[in-house]
Structure 1
Amino acid sequence: MKHSVALFTLTAALLLSLPARSADVDWKKVDAALGKTAAVSGEVHRYGLPRSDLRVTLDGIVIKPALALGGWVAFAPIHDEAMVMGDLVLLETEITPVMSKLLESGLEITAVHNHILRASPATFYMHVAGHGDPEKIAASIRGALSSGSKTPFDPPVTTAGPAPAVDLDTSKIDEAMGAKGTPNGGVYQFGIPRRDPVTEGGMSVSGALGGANAINFQSTGNGKAAITGDFLVTGNEVNPLIRALRAGDIEVTAIHSHMLDEQPRMFFVHFWADDDAVKLARAVRTALDKTAVAQH
Protein backbone atom coordinates (compact mmCIF):
# COMPACT_ATOMS: atom_id res chain seq x y z
CA MET A 1 0.00 0.00 0.00
CA LYS A 2 2.87 2.39 0.74
CA HIS A 3 4.18 1.93 -2.81
CA SER A 4 0.67 2.51 -4.19
CA VAL A 5 0.23 5.73 -2.20
CA ALA A 6 3.69 6.95 -3.21
CA LEU A 7 2.93 6.25 -6.88
CA PHE A 8 -0.41 8.07 -6.60
CA THR A 9 1.30 11.08 -5.01
CA LEU A 10 4.10 11.18 -7.60
CA THR A 11 1.72 10.83 -10.53
CA ALA A 12 -0.63 13.50 -9.18
CA ALA A 13 2.33 15.84 -8.60
CA LEU A 14 3.55 15.34 -12.17
CA LEU A 15 0.10 15.88 -13.64
CA LEU A 16 -0.39 18.97 -11.53
CA SER A 17 2.52 20.59 -13.37
CA LEU A 18 0.12 20.72 -16.33
CA PRO A 19 -2.77 23.20 -16.42
CA ALA A 20 -5.88 21.82 -14.75
CA ARG A 21 -8.72 22.49 -17.14
CA SER A 22 -12.19 21.13 -16.56
CA ALA A 23 -12.85 21.78 -20.26
CA ASP A 24 -10.40 18.98 -21.13
CA VAL A 25 -12.90 16.46 -19.71
CA ASP A 26 -16.16 15.54 -21.44
CA TRP A 27 -18.30 15.73 -18.32
CA LYS A 28 -21.46 14.59 -20.15
CA LYS A 29 -19.75 11.24 -20.71
CA VAL A 30 -18.81 11.07 -17.02
CA ASP A 31 -22.42 11.85 -16.08
CA ALA A 32 -23.64 9.08 -18.39
CA ALA A 33 -21.11 6.57 -17.07
CA LEU A 34 -22.14 7.19 -13.47
CA GLY A 35 -25.83 7.63 -14.24
CA LYS A 36 -25.92 10.87 -12.26
CA THR A 37 -25.70 14.60 -12.90
CA ALA A 38 -22.92 16.45 -11.08
CA ALA A 39 -23.18 19.48 -8.85
CA VAL A 40 -20.36 21.73 -10.07
CA SER A 41 -18.31 23.84 -7.66
CA GLY A 42 -15.46 25.58 -9.46
CA GLU A 43 -13.53 22.82 -11.21
CA VAL A 44 -14.91 20.05 -8.99
CA HIS A 45 -17.76 17.84 -10.19
CA ARG A 46 -19.51 16.13 -7.28
CA TYR A 47 -22.08 13.35 -7.60
CA GLY A 48 -24.52 12.49 -4.83
CA LEU A 49 -25.10 8.82 -4.04
CA PRO A 50 -27.64 8.98 -1.19
CA ARG A 51 -28.96 5.73 0.27
CA SER A 52 -32.59 6.72 -0.21
CA ASP A 53 -33.41 3.01 -0.43
CA LEU A 54 -32.66 2.47 3.28
CA ARG A 55 -34.85 3.16 6.28
CA VAL A 56 -32.32 3.75 9.05
CA THR A 57 -33.36 4.65 12.58
CA LEU A 58 -31.25 5.88 15.48
CA ASP A 59 -32.69 6.43 18.95
CA GLY A 60 -36.16 6.24 17.39
CA ILE A 61 -35.37 8.91 14.77
CA VAL A 62 -35.77 8.05 11.09
CA ILE A 63 -32.61 9.43 9.48
CA LYS A 64 -33.09 11.43 6.31
CA PRO A 65 -30.49 10.61 3.62
CA ALA A 66 -29.08 14.16 3.78
CA LEU A 67 -28.42 13.84 7.52
CA ALA A 68 -26.08 10.82 7.53
CA LEU A 69 -26.66 8.63 4.46
CA GLY A 70 -25.41 10.96 1.73
CA GLY A 71 -22.76 9.01 -0.16
CA TRP A 72 -20.84 10.89 -2.84
CA VAL A 73 -17.89 10.90 -5.24
CA ALA A 74 -16.15 14.04 -6.51
CA PHE A 75 -13.84 14.54 -9.49
CA ALA A 76 -11.22 17.28 -9.79
CA PRO A 77 -9.63 17.65 -13.26
CA ILE A 78 -5.89 17.18 -13.71
CA HIS A 79 -5.33 18.10 -17.38
CA ASP A 80 -7.35 15.50 -19.36
CA GLU A 81 -7.54 13.11 -16.40
CA ALA A 82 -9.09 13.51 -12.95
CA MET A 83 -8.50 12.87 -9.29
CA VAL A 84 -11.45 11.27 -7.50
CA MET A 85 -12.37 11.11 -3.83
CA GLY A 86 -15.56 9.78 -2.31
CA ASP A 87 -17.51 8.31 0.57
CA LEU A 88 -19.85 5.38 -0.13
CA VAL A 89 -22.60 4.43 2.35
CA LEU A 90 -22.89 0.67 2.69
CA LEU A 91 -24.52 -2.04 4.75
CA GLU A 92 -22.23 -4.54 6.44
CA THR A 93 -22.94 -7.23 3.84
CA GLU A 94 -22.12 -4.84 0.99
CA ILE A 95 -18.61 -3.87 2.11
CA THR A 96 -16.59 -6.81 0.76
CA PRO A 97 -18.24 -7.17 -2.68
CA VAL A 98 -18.05 -3.43 -3.35
CA MET A 99 -14.45 -3.22 -2.15
CA SER A 100 -13.40 -6.17 -4.31
CA LYS A 101 -14.86 -4.61 -7.46
CA LEU A 102 -13.29 -1.22 -6.75
CA LEU A 103 -9.86 -2.75 -6.15
CA GLU A 104 -10.14 -4.77 -9.37
CA SER A 105 -10.71 -1.51 -11.25
CA GLY A 106 -7.55 0.08 -9.80
CA LEU A 107 -9.21 2.40 -7.31
CA GLU A 108 -7.91 2.68 -3.75
CA ILE A 109 -9.78 2.23 -0.48
CA THR A 110 -8.64 4.81 2.07
CA ALA A 111 -10.95 3.99 5.02
CA VAL A 112 -13.85 1.80 6.13
CA HIS A 113 -15.62 2.65 9.38
CA ASN A 114 -18.73 3.83 11.20
CA HIS A 115 -19.83 7.43 11.45
CA ILE A 116 -22.76 6.94 13.85
CA LEU A 117 -23.65 4.47 16.60
CA ARG A 118 -26.75 2.39 17.39
CA ALA A 119 -28.23 2.78 13.90
CA SER A 120 -30.57 0.05 12.69
CA PRO A 121 -29.59 -1.30 10.27
CA ALA A 122 -25.93 -0.46 10.94
CA THR A 123 -24.34 1.63 8.21
CA PHE A 124 -20.68 1.90 7.27
CA TYR A 125 -18.71 4.33 5.17
CA MET A 126 -16.11 3.37 2.56
CA HIS A 127 -13.80 6.15 1.44
CA VAL A 128 -12.28 5.82 -2.02
CA ALA A 129 -9.60 7.62 -4.03
CA GLY A 130 -7.83 7.36 -7.35
CA HIS A 131 -6.91 9.14 -10.56
CA GLY A 132 -7.13 8.46 -14.28
CA ASP A 133 -9.75 8.59 -17.00
CA PRO A 134 -12.83 10.03 -15.22
CA GLU A 135 -15.29 8.25 -17.52
CA LYS A 136 -13.70 4.87 -16.77
CA ILE A 137 -13.55 5.65 -13.04
CA ALA A 138 -17.23 6.63 -13.03
CA ALA A 139 -18.17 3.40 -14.82
CA SER A 140 -16.10 1.36 -12.32
CA ILE A 141 -17.77 3.01 -9.33
CA ARG A 142 -21.23 2.47 -10.75
CA GLY A 143 -20.41 -1.13 -11.62
CA ALA A 144 -19.10 -1.85 -8.12
CA LEU A 145 -22.10 -0.30 -6.41
CA SER A 146 -24.63 -1.86 -8.77
CA SER A 147 -23.24 -5.37 -8.40
CA GLY A 148 -22.35 -5.26 -4.71
CA SER A 149 -24.97 -2.99 -3.14
CA LYS A 150 -28.47 -1.66 -3.60
CA THR A 151 -27.35 1.95 -3.96
CA PRO A 152 -30.03 3.52 -6.19
CA PHE A 153 -29.09 5.08 -9.52
CA ASP A 154 -32.54 5.70 -10.97
CA PRO A 155 -33.69 9.33 -10.68
CA PRO A 156 -35.81 9.80 -7.56
CA VAL A 157 -39.55 9.78 -8.07
CA THR A 158 -40.67 13.37 -7.63
CA THR A 159 -44.12 14.79 -7.08
CA ALA A 160 -45.26 18.32 -7.71
CA GLY A 161 -44.81 20.59 -4.75
CA PRO A 162 -42.19 22.44 -2.74
CA ALA A 163 -38.98 20.90 -1.46
CA PRO A 164 -39.15 19.33 2.03
CA ALA A 165 -39.29 22.06 4.64
CA VAL A 166 -36.80 22.40 7.49
CA ASP A 167 -38.98 22.73 10.58
CA LEU A 168 -36.42 24.74 12.56
CA ASP A 169 -35.71 28.39 13.35
CA THR A 170 -32.83 28.55 10.89
CA SER A 171 -32.15 32.26 11.49
CA LYS A 172 -31.39 31.57 15.17
CA ILE A 173 -29.29 28.54 14.22
CA ASP A 174 -27.34 30.69 11.73
CA GLU A 175 -26.77 33.30 14.42
CA ALA A 176 -25.52 30.71 16.90
CA MET A 177 -23.28 29.05 14.29
CA GLY A 178 -21.90 32.32 12.96
CA ALA A 179 -22.50 31.02 9.45
CA LYS A 180 -25.29 30.59 6.91
CA GLY A 181 -26.70 27.10 6.44
CA THR A 182 -28.34 25.56 3.38
CA PRO A 183 -31.51 23.43 3.32
CA ASN A 184 -31.15 20.08 1.56
CA GLY A 185 -33.74 17.32 1.58
CA GLY A 186 -35.35 18.47 4.82
CA VAL A 187 -31.95 18.85 6.53
CA TYR A 188 -30.18 22.12 7.38
CA GLN A 189 -26.50 21.83 6.45
CA PHE A 190 -23.33 23.78 7.16
CA GLY A 191 -19.94 23.47 5.49
CA ILE A 192 -17.38 25.36 7.59
CA PRO A 193 -13.94 25.61 5.93
CA ARG A 194 -10.64 25.41 7.75
CA ARG A 195 -8.37 28.45 7.81
CA ASP A 196 -5.55 26.68 5.95
CA PRO A 197 -6.18 24.32 3.03
CA VAL A 198 -5.58 20.59 3.28
CA THR A 199 -3.80 18.93 0.35
CA GLU A 200 -3.83 15.35 -0.91
CA GLY A 201 -1.31 14.31 -3.56
CA GLY A 202 -0.34 17.96 -3.91
CA MET A 203 -3.91 19.05 -4.69
CA SER A 204 -6.05 21.22 -2.43
CA VAL A 205 -8.90 19.21 -0.93
CA SER A 206 -11.73 21.71 -1.07
CA GLY A 207 -15.10 21.48 0.63
CA ALA A 208 -16.56 19.69 -2.40
CA LEU A 209 -13.82 17.06 -2.06
CA GLY A 210 -14.61 16.49 1.62
CA GLY A 211 -12.25 19.05 3.11
CA ALA A 212 -14.55 21.02 5.43
CA ASN A 213 -16.39 20.69 8.73
CA ALA A 214 -19.84 19.29 7.93
CA ILE A 215 -22.66 20.02 10.41
CA ASN A 216 -26.22 18.77 9.72
CA PHE A 217 -29.47 19.53 11.58
CA GLN A 218 -32.67 17.46 11.18
CA SER A 219 -35.78 18.56 13.02
CA THR A 220 -37.17 16.14 15.60
CA GLY A 221 -40.04 18.45 16.60
CA ASN A 222 -40.72 21.24 19.10
CA GLY A 223 -37.55 23.15 18.26
CA LYS A 224 -35.31 20.12 18.74
CA ALA A 225 -32.92 18.68 16.17
CA ALA A 226 -30.78 15.63 15.65
CA ILE A 227 -27.29 16.72 14.62
CA THR A 228 -24.44 14.79 13.08
CA GLY A 229 -21.57 15.28 10.66
CA ASP A 230 -17.83 15.54 11.08
CA PHE A 231 -15.16 17.97 12.19
CA LEU A 232 -11.89 18.08 10.23
CA VAL A 233 -9.03 18.63 12.68
CA THR A 234 -5.31 18.21 13.23
CA GLY A 235 -4.04 15.82 15.91
CA ASN A 236 -3.47 18.52 18.50
CA GLU A 237 -7.03 19.79 18.04
CA VAL A 238 -8.75 16.43 18.64
CA ASN A 239 -8.96 16.49 22.44
CA PRO A 240 -9.80 20.19 22.89
CA LEU A 241 -12.59 19.63 20.36
CA ILE A 242 -14.06 16.51 21.95
CA ARG A 243 -13.86 18.03 25.43
CA ALA A 244 -15.93 20.96 24.14
CA LEU A 245 -18.42 18.58 22.50
CA ARG A 246 -18.86 16.55 25.68
CA ALA A 247 -19.25 19.76 27.71
CA GLY A 248 -22.13 20.57 25.36
CA ASP A 249 -23.60 17.07 25.91
CA ILE A 250 -22.82 16.07 22.33
CA GLU A 251 -21.84 12.43 21.84
CA VAL A 252 -18.55 11.68 20.04
CA THR A 253 -19.21 8.65 17.83
CA ALA A 254 -15.97 8.18 15.88
CA ILE A 255 -12.43 9.56 15.52
CA HIS A 256 -10.50 8.41 12.47
CA SER A 257 -8.84 9.26 9.17
CA HIS A 258 -10.50 9.44 5.75
CA MET A 259 -7.40 9.90 3.60
CA LEU A 260 -3.94 8.31 3.37
CA ASP A 261 -1.49 10.99 2.25
CA GLU A 262 -2.99 14.35 3.21
CA GLN A 263 -0.88 17.27 4.43
CA PRO A 264 -1.08 18.14 7.24
CA ARG A 265 -2.26 14.90 8.85
CA MET A 266 -5.99 15.25 9.55
CA PHE A 267 -8.58 13.43 11.64
CA PHE A 268 -12.36 13.37 11.33
CA VAL A 269 -14.45 13.54 14.49
CA HIS A 270 -18.07 12.41 14.12
CA PHE A 271 -20.82 13.29 16.58
CA TRP A 272 -24.50 12.91 17.48
CA ALA A 273 -27.05 14.67 19.68
CA ASP A 274 -30.80 15.27 19.80
CA ASP A 275 -31.72 18.38 21.76
CA ASP A 276 -32.79 22.01 21.41
CA ALA A 277 -31.44 23.05 18.00
CA VAL A 278 -30.17 26.51 19.00
CA LYS A 279 -28.53 25.14 22.15
CA LEU A 280 -26.74 22.53 20.04
CA ALA A 281 -25.70 25.14 17.48
CA ARG A 282 -24.06 27.19 20.24
CA ALA A 283 -22.25 24.09 21.52
CA VAL A 284 -21.05 23.23 18.01
CA ARG A 285 -19.78 26.80 17.52
CA THR A 286 -17.87 26.60 20.81
CA ALA A 287 -16.28 23.33 19.65
CA LEU A 288 -15.43 24.76 16.23
CA ASP A 289 -13.65 27.66 17.87
CA LYS A 290 -11.21 25.16 19.42
CA THR A 291 -9.96 24.45 15.89
CA ALA A 292 -8.37 26.46 13.08
CA VAL A 293 -11.51 27.32 11.18
CA ALA A 294 -11.76 30.20 8.75
CA GLN A 295 -12.78 33.47 10.37
CA HIS A 296 -16.50 34.19 10.28
Structure 2
Amino acid sequence: MKTLLFKLLIISYVLLGQAPMALADASSGLNPDIISEAMDTPATVKPDGVVRVGWQRDDVPVMVDGVTLPPPAGLGSWAGFKSMSDGGVMLMGDTVVFEDEITPAMDAAFAHGLEITALHNHFVFDRPPVYFMHIGGHGQSAGKLAQGVKAMWDAIKAQRKEHPTPAEHFPGSSPEITGEYDTESLEAILDVEGSLNGQVLKFTFGRNSMMHGTEFGASMGLATWAAFSGNEDQAVVDGDFAMTAKEVQPVMHALRRAGIHIVALHNHMVGETPPYYFLHYWGNGDPEKLAHGIRSALDAQENLETQH
Protein backbone atom coordinates (compact mmCIF):
# COMPACT_ATOMS: atom_id res chain seq x y z
CA MET A 1 0.00 0.00 0.00
CA LYS A 2 2.83 2.39 0.95
CA THR A 3 4.63 1.57 -2.31
CA LEU A 4 1.49 2.33 -4.31
CA LEU A 5 0.99 5.65 -2.52
CA PHE A 6 4.61 6.60 -3.16
CA LYS A 7 4.23 5.79 -6.87
CA LEU A 8 1.08 7.86 -7.05
CA LEU A 9 2.91 10.73 -5.38
CA ILE A 10 5.72 10.50 -7.92
CA ILE A 11 3.23 10.49 -10.79
CA SER A 12 1.47 13.55 -9.43
CA TYR A 13 4.75 15.44 -9.13
CA VAL A 14 5.75 14.41 -12.63
CA LEU A 15 2.47 15.73 -14.00
CA LEU A 16 3.22 19.01 -12.24
CA GLY A 17 6.76 19.04 -13.68
CA GLN A 18 8.30 19.04 -10.19
CA ALA A 19 9.26 15.47 -9.37
CA PRO A 20 12.93 15.12 -8.47
CA MET A 21 13.40 18.76 -7.50
CA ALA A 22 10.35 19.06 -5.30
CA LEU A 23 10.95 15.81 -3.44
CA ALA A 24 14.54 16.81 -2.80
CA ASP A 25 13.39 20.23 -1.63
CA ALA A 26 11.11 18.65 0.94
CA SER A 27 13.91 16.53 2.36
CA SER A 28 16.43 19.37 2.44
CA GLY A 29 14.21 22.11 3.77
CA LEU A 30 15.90 24.49 1.31
CA ASN A 31 14.22 26.28 -1.53
CA PRO A 32 16.62 26.23 -4.50
CA ASP A 33 14.71 29.06 -6.14
CA ILE A 34 15.79 31.41 -3.33
CA ILE A 35 19.44 30.49 -3.87
CA SER A 36 19.10 30.71 -7.66
CA GLU A 37 17.55 34.15 -7.41
CA ALA A 38 20.15 35.42 -4.93
CA MET A 39 23.02 34.22 -7.10
CA ASP A 40 21.42 34.86 -10.48
CA THR A 41 22.46 31.38 -11.58
CA PRO A 42 20.65 28.03 -11.73
CA ALA A 43 20.82 25.82 -8.65
CA THR A 44 20.57 22.03 -8.58
CA VAL A 45 19.44 19.77 -5.77
CA LYS A 46 21.50 16.67 -5.03
CA PRO A 47 19.93 13.38 -3.84
CA ASP A 48 21.01 14.14 -0.26
CA GLY A 49 19.20 17.49 -0.32
CA VAL A 50 22.27 19.70 -0.80
CA VAL A 51 21.59 22.66 -3.09
CA ARG A 52 24.56 23.52 -5.32
CA VAL A 53 25.52 26.27 -7.72
CA GLY A 54 28.52 26.30 -10.00
CA TRP A 55 30.61 28.57 -12.18
CA GLN A 56 33.10 27.22 -14.70
CA ARG A 57 36.16 29.45 -15.23
CA ASP A 58 36.44 29.56 -18.99
CA ASP A 59 37.15 33.32 -19.11
CA VAL A 60 40.96 32.93 -18.86
CA PRO A 61 42.84 30.20 -20.77
CA VAL A 62 45.03 28.12 -18.42
CA MET A 63 48.02 26.03 -19.40
CA VAL A 64 49.14 23.22 -17.08
CA ASP A 65 52.32 21.36 -17.92
CA GLY A 66 52.11 22.64 -21.47
CA VAL A 67 48.50 21.53 -21.94
CA THR A 68 45.56 23.89 -22.36
CA LEU A 69 43.40 22.67 -19.49
CA PRO A 70 39.69 22.19 -20.29
CA PRO A 71 37.69 23.98 -17.56
CA PRO A 72 35.80 20.78 -16.56
CA ALA A 73 39.17 19.24 -15.63
CA GLY A 74 39.40 21.27 -12.44
CA LEU A 75 38.63 24.94 -13.09
CA GLY A 76 35.18 24.95 -11.57
CA SER A 77 33.90 27.13 -8.72
CA TRP A 78 31.01 25.85 -6.65
CA ALA A 79 29.00 26.45 -3.49
CA GLY A 80 26.87 23.95 -1.58
CA PHE A 81 24.06 24.75 0.86
CA LYS A 82 22.73 22.26 3.42
CA SER A 83 20.09 22.46 6.14
CA MET A 84 21.33 22.22 9.73
CA SER A 85 19.60 20.47 12.61
CA ASP A 86 18.95 23.80 14.35
CA GLY A 87 17.03 25.10 11.35
CA GLY A 88 19.92 27.11 9.96
CA VAL A 89 21.89 26.68 6.76
CA MET A 90 25.51 25.60 6.28
CA LEU A 91 27.62 26.75 3.33
CA MET A 92 30.76 25.18 1.87
CA GLY A 93 32.46 25.84 -1.44
CA ASP A 94 35.53 26.39 -3.54
CA THR A 95 36.30 29.34 -5.81
CA VAL A 96 38.89 29.44 -8.57
CA VAL A 97 40.97 32.63 -8.31
CA PHE A 98 43.89 34.05 -10.23
CA GLU A 99 46.52 35.92 -8.24
CA ASP A 100 45.06 39.41 -8.68
CA GLU A 101 41.58 38.14 -7.73
CA ILE A 102 42.54 36.74 -4.32
CA THR A 103 42.31 39.96 -2.31
CA PRO A 104 39.09 41.38 -3.85
CA ALA A 105 37.35 37.99 -3.58
CA MET A 106 38.45 37.60 0.04
CA ASP A 107 37.38 41.12 0.98
CA ALA A 108 33.96 40.54 -0.58
CA ALA A 109 33.58 37.27 1.34
CA PHE A 110 34.48 38.93 4.65
CA ALA A 111 32.15 41.87 3.96
CA HIS A 112 29.27 39.39 3.68
CA GLY A 113 30.09 37.32 6.76
CA LEU A 114 31.65 34.33 5.00
CA GLU A 115 34.73 32.48 6.21
CA ILE A 116 37.83 31.62 4.20
CA THR A 117 38.87 28.09 5.19
CA ALA A 118 41.76 27.45 2.80
CA LEU A 119 43.74 29.16 0.06
CA HIS A 120 46.19 27.09 -1.94
CA ASN A 121 47.12 25.67 -5.34
CA HIS A 122 45.83 22.51 -7.01
CA PHE A 123 48.35 22.48 -9.85
CA VAL A 124 52.02 23.14 -10.59
CA PHE A 125 53.47 24.48 -13.86
CA ASP A 126 50.19 26.34 -14.41
CA ARG A 127 50.21 29.59 -16.39
CA PRO A 128 48.75 31.87 -15.26
CA PRO A 129 48.98 30.52 -11.70
CA VAL A 130 45.62 29.29 -10.38
CA TYR A 131 44.60 29.28 -6.73
CA PHE A 132 41.59 27.88 -4.93
CA MET A 133 39.77 29.74 -2.19
CA HIS A 134 37.67 27.44 -0.02
CA ILE A 135 34.80 29.10 1.79
CA GLY A 136 32.44 28.33 4.63
CA GLY A 137 29.58 29.91 6.48
CA HIS A 138 26.39 29.29 8.41
CA GLY A 139 23.30 31.25 9.30
CA GLN A 140 19.54 31.34 9.23
CA SER A 141 19.19 32.62 5.67
CA ALA A 142 20.24 30.65 2.61
CA GLY A 143 19.58 33.77 0.56
CA LYS A 144 22.07 35.88 2.51
CA LEU A 145 24.76 33.20 2.30
CA ALA A 146 24.13 32.95 -1.44
CA GLN A 147 24.43 36.73 -1.76
CA GLY A 148 27.85 36.48 -0.11
CA VAL A 149 29.02 33.92 -2.65
CA LYS A 150 27.65 36.05 -5.47
CA ALA A 151 29.52 39.07 -4.12
CA MET A 152 32.76 37.07 -4.22
CA TRP A 153 32.17 35.93 -7.77
CA ASP A 154 31.11 39.42 -8.84
CA ALA A 155 34.35 40.85 -7.41
CA ILE A 156 36.30 38.37 -9.51
CA LYS A 157 34.32 39.21 -12.63
CA ALA A 158 34.85 42.94 -12.02
CA GLN A 159 38.60 42.38 -11.77
CA ARG A 160 38.64 40.47 -15.04
CA LYS A 161 36.47 43.06 -16.76
CA GLU A 162 38.92 45.80 -15.78
CA HIS A 163 42.01 43.70 -16.51
CA PRO A 164 41.26 40.79 -18.88
CA THR A 165 44.74 39.35 -18.35
CA PRO A 166 45.66 38.47 -14.74
CA ALA A 167 48.25 40.85 -13.29
CA GLU A 168 51.71 39.64 -12.33
CA HIS A 169 52.25 41.84 -9.27
CA PHE A 170 50.38 43.86 -6.65
CA PRO A 171 49.74 47.57 -7.34
CA GLY A 172 52.39 50.01 -6.15
CA SER A 173 56.14 50.43 -6.28
CA SER A 174 58.83 48.13 -4.95
CA PRO A 175 61.21 49.27 -2.19
CA GLU A 176 64.94 49.62 -2.53
CA ILE A 177 66.43 46.96 -0.28
CA THR A 178 69.21 48.53 1.80
CA GLY A 179 68.83 46.51 4.99
CA GLU A 180 68.61 49.70 7.06
CA TYR A 181 65.58 49.87 9.37
CA ASP A 182 64.37 51.68 12.45
CA THR A 183 64.83 48.44 14.35
CA GLU A 184 64.11 49.95 17.75
CA SER A 185 60.73 51.26 16.60
CA LEU A 186 59.73 47.97 14.97
CA GLU A 187 60.78 46.02 18.07
CA ALA A 188 58.67 48.33 20.24
CA ILE A 189 55.60 47.80 18.04
CA LEU A 190 55.98 44.03 17.78
CA ASP A 191 57.16 43.65 21.38
CA VAL A 192 59.91 41.17 20.49
CA GLU A 193 63.58 41.43 19.56
CA GLY A 194 64.39 41.26 15.87
CA SER A 195 67.34 39.58 14.18
CA LEU A 196 69.14 40.99 11.14
CA ASN A 197 70.28 38.44 8.58
CA GLY A 198 71.96 40.27 5.73
CA GLN A 199 69.38 42.81 4.56
CA VAL A 200 66.40 41.06 6.17
CA LEU A 201 65.04 41.96 9.61
CA LYS A 202 63.09 39.03 11.08
CA PHE A 203 60.80 38.68 14.09
CA THR A 204 59.67 35.30 15.46
CA PHE A 205 56.84 34.37 17.82
CA GLY A 206 56.83 30.76 19.01
CA ARG A 207 53.79 28.57 19.64
CA ASN A 208 53.51 25.18 21.36
CA SER A 209 51.68 21.97 20.60
CA MET A 210 51.89 18.23 21.26
CA MET A 211 52.56 15.39 18.84
CA HIS A 212 53.32 11.72 19.58
CA GLY A 213 53.18 12.62 23.27
CA THR A 214 55.97 15.17 22.83
CA GLU A 215 55.76 18.94 23.19
CA PHE A 216 57.29 20.97 20.37
CA GLY A 217 57.49 24.60 19.33
CA ALA A 218 59.25 27.18 17.17
CA SER A 219 62.45 25.23 16.58
CA MET A 220 60.33 22.46 14.98
CA GLY A 221 58.49 24.90 12.73
CA LEU A 222 55.57 25.94 14.91
CA ALA A 223 55.96 29.71 14.84
CA THR A 224 54.56 32.99 13.62
CA TRP A 225 57.20 35.15 11.93
CA ALA A 226 57.64 38.34 9.95
CA ALA A 227 60.53 39.22 7.62
CA PHE A 228 61.06 42.83 6.51
CA SER A 229 63.03 43.57 3.33
CA GLY A 230 63.62 47.17 2.29
CA ASN A 231 64.61 50.36 4.08
CA GLU A 232 63.44 52.76 6.79
CA ASP A 233 60.76 54.33 4.58
CA GLN A 234 59.40 51.39 2.58
CA ALA A 235 59.60 47.64 2.94
CA VAL A 236 57.89 44.45 1.96
CA VAL A 237 57.00 42.01 4.70
CA ASP A 238 56.29 38.32 4.33
CA GLY A 239 55.76 35.56 6.83
CA ASP A 240 53.64 32.95 8.51
CA PHE A 241 50.94 33.03 11.16
CA ALA A 242 50.56 29.82 13.17
CA MET A 243 46.95 29.68 14.37
CA THR A 244 44.56 27.41 16.19
CA ALA A 245 41.22 26.92 14.45
CA LYS A 246 39.42 29.61 16.44
CA GLU A 247 42.16 32.14 15.62
CA VAL A 248 42.07 31.77 11.83
CA GLN A 249 39.24 34.18 10.98
CA PRO A 250 40.20 36.92 13.50
CA VAL A 251 43.81 36.92 12.27
CA MET A 252 42.73 37.10 8.63
CA HIS A 253 40.35 39.97 9.32
CA ALA A 254 43.03 41.89 11.24
CA LEU A 255 45.58 41.54 8.44
CA ARG A 256 43.13 42.59 5.75
CA ARG A 257 42.06 45.64 7.79
CA ALA A 258 45.75 46.58 7.78
CA GLY A 259 45.98 46.20 4.00
CA ILE A 260 48.18 43.11 4.22
CA HIS A 261 47.50 40.50 1.55
CA ILE A 262 46.83 36.86 2.47
CA VAL A 263 48.47 34.55 -0.07
CA ALA A 264 47.97 31.06 1.40
CA LEU A 265 46.04 29.27 4.14
CA HIS A 266 46.69 25.60 4.83
CA ASN A 267 48.15 23.12 7.31
CA HIS A 268 51.83 22.19 7.75
CA MET A 269 51.37 19.22 10.08
CA VAL A 270 49.00 16.34 10.72
CA GLY A 271 48.22 14.92 14.15
CA GLU A 272 49.30 17.74 16.46
CA THR A 273 47.18 18.72 19.49
CA PRO A 274 45.80 21.31 19.23
CA PRO A 275 45.77 21.39 15.42
CA TYR A 276 47.45 24.42 13.85
CA TYR A 277 46.79 26.22 10.58
CA PHE A 278 49.27 28.41 8.75
CA LEU A 279 48.60 31.66 6.96
CA HIS A 280 51.17 33.19 4.60
CA TYR A 281 51.01 36.91 3.92
CA TRP A 282 52.60 39.76 1.97
CA GLY A 283 52.59 43.48 2.61
CA ASN A 284 54.24 46.51 1.01
CA GLY A 285 54.54 49.99 2.48
CA ASP A 286 55.70 51.90 5.50
CA PRO A 287 57.50 49.42 7.82
CA GLU A 288 55.90 50.79 10.96
CA LYS A 289 52.39 50.59 9.48
CA LEU A 290 53.08 47.01 8.40
CA ALA A 291 54.34 46.19 11.89
CA HIS A 292 51.18 47.67 13.44
CA GLY A 293 49.10 45.47 11.12
CA ILE A 294 50.97 42.35 12.20
CA ARG A 295 50.69 43.45 15.83
CA SER A 296 46.91 43.79 15.46
CA ALA A 297 46.70 40.17 14.24
CA LEU A 298 48.88 39.00 17.14
CA ASP A 299 46.60 40.90 19.51
CA ALA A 300 43.57 39.14 18.02
CA GLN A 301 45.18 35.81 18.92
CA GLU A 302 46.12 36.92 22.41
CA ASN A 303 42.63 38.26 23.09
CA LEU A 304 41.15 34.85 22.26
CA GLU A 305 43.66 33.14 24.55
CA THR A 306 42.74 35.38 27.49
CA GLN A 307 39.03 34.75 26.94
CA HIS A 308 39.47 31.01 27.49
TM above 0.5, one fold? no
More helix by share: 2
TM-score normalised over the length of structure 2? 0.41
Structure with higher RCO (Cα < 8 A, 6+ apart):
1
TM-score normalised over the length of structure 1? 0.43
Structure whose CA Rg is larger = 2
